[in-house]
């Protein structure tokens, strides 16, 4: 009876999310003559029509620079741009729009913190990251350590791809100034217990930055609950446009940080002797911003706000379980890389004797889009002794048919390479 109830619930979710799939024009096309099964969402998600229309309207009728303009178009653009900031604030439950800085994406957000807040580090200080990190949450800290003489410390992960919590806690000490970690691993799907880790880092006196690029499209994130000092994410991972992103920062930190870049809109006054800087968050938004992109980001937030995140989690988890079970059962020599108990909808795997790139090429001919390579996480690949993995990553618009077609493509690859 319980099984039957679970099956009915899964069927209902499939039916509900099938309707949402119609909101995404890219999913209605044929690839190599076959319907597209888009399973590369961890790299970049597709956008719904509502996002396209919001950006087109902004560009077609309201295009003008924001702030300071007194004519009608500038006022419209400013209202749309700042309206998107309020949407983001509400979406992540930040205390104020002064804590929402628009950037080009997660990478720039992390670099901003490293370049600005990081100026206070000195030789002997430590920056603690984890072995799960994307290159964007490794390289900026390496550069910071090279400039300041601080030391980069890396917390290990277990064989299942989960963070070794005891080792993490042991590495925290009085020299730890910054802790930077992923909310969700892009390469393995591991979901970190962020609130718990933040509390431990704060107890040691450290400031915490969380890379939330892979979390925001799938989880309800709440800055008051997480209590992190900085949180970074990208528009194009959450059904919005590329070239847009957000840095959330606690106001107390942002107030004391020097500007990241100089130029228009981040200033109050300029003379040849000295300049004074604008209020938050504009102090960190030099130059003409990506206005149309931010409007699209706001529309993506509106779209996500209309979705039941608990239903999304159940739907994506069911797809992940189905794909995991079938890959292991039906693909000879398949091995899952990253088997943590708490995972987001990311499935990384290898197949003995077949390179990941070959798998990707063959399933593409079947109309299935997956990502292959090191996923900008080369230390993760090194940790598991592989050069690359194939990665299928699911979003709310994916369905059982996408999983079935992935398996058919992988079976085709096995036939080709093993006869």
| Domain at 373, CATH number | 3.90.1150.10
Looking at the fold, whether 261 and 371 belong to one and the same domain comes out as no
Tell me, what's the pLDDT at 13? 54
Looking at the fold, whether 233 and 248 belong to one and the same domain comes out as yes
Looking at the fold, whether 115 and 264 belong to one and the same domain comes out as yes
Q: Which of 43, 154, 376, 408 is catalytic?
A: 376
Its pTM stands at 0.95
Q: Which helix (H) or strand (E) holds 202?
A: helix 194-203
Tell me, what's the pLDDT at 5? 43
Q: Which helix (H) or strand (E) holds 34?
A: strand 34-35
Tell me, what's the pLDDT at 17? 78
Count of domains forming the chain: 2
Which of 305, 331, 360 terminates a domain? The answer is: 305
Tell me, what's the pLDDT at 1? 37
Tell me, what's the pLDDT at 68? 83
The HSE-up count of residue 405 (CA atoms within 13 Å, CB side) is: 20
Q: Which one, of 37, 366, 389, lies nearest residue 187 by Cα? A: 389
Looking at the fold, whether 328 and 251 belong to one and the same domain comes out as no
Looking at the fold, whether 161 and 293 belong to one and the same domain comes out as yes
Looking at the fold, whether 121 and 58 belong to one and the same domain comes out as yes
Domain that holds residue 376: 2-47+308-418
Residues of the chain with pLDDT below 50 are: 1-10
Looking at the fold, whether 369 and 254 belong to one and the same domain comes out as no
Tell me, what's the pLDDT at 14? 57
Tell me, what's the pLDDT at 9? 45
Tens-digit pLDDT profile for residues 281-305: 999 999 999 999 999 999 999 999 9
Tens-digit pLDDT profile for residues 304-321: 999 899 999 999 999 999
> Active site includes 145?
no
Cα 291 to Cα 56, 78, 294: the distances in Å are 12, 9, 5
CATH number at residue 102: 3.40.640.10
Tell me, what's the pLDDT at 353? 94
């Amino acid at each position: 009876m319980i099984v039957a109830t679970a099956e009915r619930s899964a069927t209902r979710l499939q039916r509900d999310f099938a309707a949402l799939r119609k909101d995404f024009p890219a999913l209605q096309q044929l690839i190599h003559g076959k319907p597209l099964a888009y399973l590369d969402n961890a790299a970049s998600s597709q956008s719904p029509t509502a996002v396209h229309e919001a950006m087109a309207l902004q560009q077609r009728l309201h295009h003008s620079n924001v702030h300071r303009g007194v004519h009608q178009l500038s006022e419209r653009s400013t209202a749309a741009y700042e309206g998107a900031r309020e949407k983001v604030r509400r979406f992540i439950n930040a205390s104020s729009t002064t804590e929402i800085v628009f950037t080009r994406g997660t990478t720039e957000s992390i670099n901003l913190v490293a370049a600005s807040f990081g100026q206070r580090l000195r030789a002997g200080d430590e920056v603690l990251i984890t072995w799960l990190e994307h290159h964007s949450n490794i390289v900026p800290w390496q550069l910071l350590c090279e400039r300041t003489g601080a030391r980069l410390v890396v917390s290990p992960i277990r064989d299942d791809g989960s963070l070794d919590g005891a080792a993490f806690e042991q590495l925290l000490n009085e020299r730890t100034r910054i802790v930077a970690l992923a909310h969700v691993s892009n390469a393995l799907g591991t979901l970190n217990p962020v609130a718990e880790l933040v509390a431990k880092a704060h107890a040691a006196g450290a400031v915490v930055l969380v890379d939330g690029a892979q979390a925001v499209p799938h989880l309800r994130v709440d800055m008051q609950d997480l209590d992190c000092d900085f949180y970074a994410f990208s528009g194009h991972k959450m059904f919005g446009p590329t070239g847009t992103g957000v840095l959330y920062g606690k106001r107390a930190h942002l107030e004391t940080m020097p500007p990241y870049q100089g130029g228009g809109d981040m200033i109050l006054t300029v003379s040849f002797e000295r300049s004074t800087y604008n209020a938050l968050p504009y102090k960190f938004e030099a130059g003409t911003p990506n206005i149309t992109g931010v409007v699209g980001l706001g529309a993506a937030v509106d779209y996500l706000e209309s979705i039941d995140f608990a239903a999304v989690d159940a739907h994506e988890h069911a797809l992940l379980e189905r794909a995991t079970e079938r890959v292991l059962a039906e693909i000879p020599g398949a091995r899952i890389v990253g088997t943590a108990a708490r995972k987001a909808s990311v499935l990384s795997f290898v197949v003995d004797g077949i390179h990941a790139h070959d798998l990707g090429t063959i399933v593409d001919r079947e109309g299935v889009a997956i990502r292959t390579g090191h996923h900008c996480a080369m230390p993760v690949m090194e940790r598991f002794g592989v050069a690359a993995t194939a990665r299928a990553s699911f979003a709310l618009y994916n369905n059982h048919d996408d999983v079935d077609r992935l398996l058919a493509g992988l079976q085709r690859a096995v036939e080709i390479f093993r006869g």
